[in-house]
Structure 1
Amino acid sequence: MKKLSKYCLSISGPDFEQCSQQLQLSEFVELRLDLYSLSEEELVSLLKTPKDYIATCRIEDEKTSITLLKKAIELGANFIDVDIRRTESFINELREYSSRYDCKLIISYHNYKTTPAKEELLSIYDRGISFGADIMKLATFVNSESDNSILLGLYSICDNLVAFGMGELGKISRLASLYCGAQFTYVSASSTSTTASGQYSYSEMKNIISAINQEQDKPISLIGFMGVGKTTVGDAFAKQSKIKFIDIDQEIEKQTSQSISSIFETKGEDYFRSLESKTLQDVTTNPSSVISCGGGVITREENRIILQEKTICIWLKADVEYCLNQIEGNNRPLLEVNDPLKKAQDLYKSREAFYKEVSHIVINVKGKSIAQICKIINEKINKPL
């Protein structure tokens, strides 16, 4: 299946003329078959649209719904959306029928009053996946900011998920979901033709994403404790993304024709930190780059301001013991002491708040491969089209 737009426009209708007009706005739409007043001929014409589309039918009568959804499958639907509260036989019949036509199955759960606890939502997700869902949709009403946190937190646990909140408080989650891993989000043709509370209009969403993408036209900086893998991850991600990789320590070594340990030994840490600040300021002028920073770069306020304001700053996070295992045998000037573990723990404790302060994105790297970390970075900074 070709790559879909990130914005699925819900066609509200209700008549054929309005459906046709709304179809012109987006290449990816949701046809709400339960909302329209159409003749048989108009329905067939609508279902034959060359647009990518999801066919949804919330009519209570299952026989009527199956008939309409099967017709949509036959005429080219990319997805059908089936509510998880339908009977098991209903879901199974449509799953089997859609598979014959290479039509994907979305199983959806809606709660128009509240957002259940995380554990309940995970149980609903698991049930939908067990029914054979290609995508599980969770849409719940948001009564507090913590409800948004519950919904968006599911993306770090669940694959093939589209989860967002309804209502005005939930509106932001429709946007944020795109940056958490949702394949798409739902929008309306206009502010007066929404099919659910809290929907952005297509133009609103496009304008917001455009503004965010302009803000995101910055280099990526990787921070974190020594040995966490900034250079390895940065180099791998840069190659994958076909952008420039810059390692600040390596840049300093090129400029001075000295190793970092030699600079520390002959001229001291303060001198090195000044070189580091100047190099950071210079390299952040290139937006198409990944910058690997030294573990102590965040100890200077001027560097923290640059990282926070001029880069997309990603903290690669792991515990001290993990980091020390990664650098065992390597020369690290700051750890050339009698008790390197104690020294490392003290350093980490003194820097942790700074890492947290400047980072826009935090990735726990322990137990993850380089490829997995790069995939997470890509998802976190992905720019919806």
Structure 2
Amino acid sequence: MNFFLLGYMGSGKSYIGKELAKVSKHQFLDLDREIEEREGLSISEIFDKNGEIYFRKAERKLLEEVLNSGDSRVISLGGGTPCYGDNLEIIKKNENSTTIYLKLKVENLTERLFKEKDHRPLISHLKDKEKLEEFIRKHLFERGFYYNQSEHIINCDNKSKEDLVTEIIDKLG
């Protein structure tokens, strides 16, 4: 079984995913990190050098590899992965996959991301919390349609890593 973690940047997909993989004895795969490793470039460098369409094609190719591999994994998707093309549909149609949306309030995402915005190219240009919050609200409005199609929605606000992993495992049965 593949467990796909969806959510906005800063929602904890990689952080929670690693722990969930450990506890469930699955492999862990961070889709963005794997693309970076294969390309030898950071995501922002891939966008700058080759463009978003190139990145989305690489992302789709890797997603198809994962779905066809037969391995059991916890997969952290990029924040935009389920929102492009029919990526979410092919995940949902795969009988060995389940989707989990790690949901946080905008205010909590803003607090988390403001501390690390200099390391996130998509938001590094936003100089104050108000602009960042506005940016996140707009993105979540656009992406919410996709995220909310997940089989499991986990409210991550004010919960420890351990509590979240336990809640996810309980939901998965």
Interval of TM-score (by shorter of Structure 1 and Structure 2): 0.7 to 0.9
Contact 1:337-1:343 within 8 A present in 2 as well = no
Cα distance per residue 1:68-90 (max 9 Å; x no partner): xxxxxxxxxxxxxxxxxxxxxxx
Inter-CA distance 353–235: structure 2 relative to 1 (3 Å threshold): same
1:314 matched to 2:100: yes
The alignment partner of 2:5 has SS state of strand
Aligned equivalents of 1:244, 1:276: Cα separation in 2: 19
The question of 1:232 aligning with 2:20 is answered no
Equivalent in the alignment of 1:250: 33
Number of residues of Structure 1 aligned to a counterpart in Structure 2: 164
1:4 alignment partner in structure 2: none
Alignment root-mean-square deviation, CA: 1.5
Equivalent residue letter for 2:27:
K
How do residues 56-67 of structure 1 correspond to structure 2 at under 5 angstroms? none
5 Å matches for 1:366-377? 366-377=157-168
Instruction: Report the equivalent of 2:79.
Output: 295
Q: How does 1:174-253 map to 2 (within 5 A)?
A: 218-253=1-36
Q: Does 1:272 align with 2:55?
A: yes
Matches within 5 A, 1:346-357: 346-357=138-149
Q: CA deviation at 1:265?
A: 2.3
Amino acid at match of 1:312: T
Give the direction of change, closer, same or farther, for the CA distance of 1:286–1:233 in structure 2 (3 Å limit).
farther
More helix by share: 2
* SS of structure 1 residue aligned to 2:107: helix
Aligned residue for 2:157, secondary structure, equals coil
Q: Which amino acid is 1:334 matched to?
A: L
> 1:297 is matched by which residue type in structure 2?
T
1:370 positional shift: 0.6
User: In the TM superposition, what is the alpha-carbon distance from 1:301 to its structure 2 partner?
Assistant: 3.2
Q: Give the whole-Å Cα distance in 1 for the aligned partners of 2:46 and 2:134.
A: 24
Q: Are positions 1:329 and 2:113 aligned together?
A: no
Is 1:344 matched with 2:127? no
User: In terms of Rg, which structure is larger?
Assistant: 1
Tell me, in whole angstroms, the C-alpha distance in 2 between the residues paired with 1:286 and 1:223: 20
**260-269 or 369-378, larger mean C-alpha shift:** 260-269
Amino acid corresponding to residue 230 of structure 1 in structure 2: K
**Percent identity of paired positions between Structure 1 and Structure 2:** 35
Change (3 A) 1:325 1:268: farther
Higher relative CO (Cα under 8 Å, sequence separation at least 6) belongs to 2
Equivalent position amino acid for 2:122 in 1 = L
Verify the 8 A CA contact 1:227 1:323 in the aligned structure 2.
yes
Matched, 1:361 2:142: no
Cα deviation, residue 260, structure 1: 1.1
Q: Is the 8 A contact 1:220 1:313 kept in 2?
A: yes
Instruction: Report the CA distance between 1:333 and its aligned residue.
Output: 2.4
Q: Would the alpha carbon gap of residues 286 and 335 (structure 1) be closer, same or farther in structure 2, given more than 3 Å must change?
A: farther
Q: CA deviation at 1:322?
A: 1.3
TM-score (norm 1): 0.41
Question: Deviation at 1:342?
Answer: 1.9
Q: Retained in 2: the 8 A contact 1:277–1:302?
A: no
Find the aligned partners of 1:351 and 1:329 in 2 and give their Cα distance: 21
Inter-partner Cα distance in structure 1 for 2:107 and 2:147: 18
TM-score, normalised via structure 2 length? 0.87
SS at match of 1:280: helix
Instruction: Please give the per-residue CA displacement for 1:11-61, whole angstroms capped at 9, x wherever unaligned.
Output: xxxxxxxxxxxxxxxxxxxxxxxxxxxxxxxxxxxxxxxxxxxxxxxxxxx
Q: Deviations over 1:315-353 (max 9, x none)?
A: 011122212322322422222444333222211110001
Hey, what's the Cα distance between the residues in 2 that align with 1:265 and 1:364?
A: 34
Deviation at 1:249, TM superposition (A): 0.7
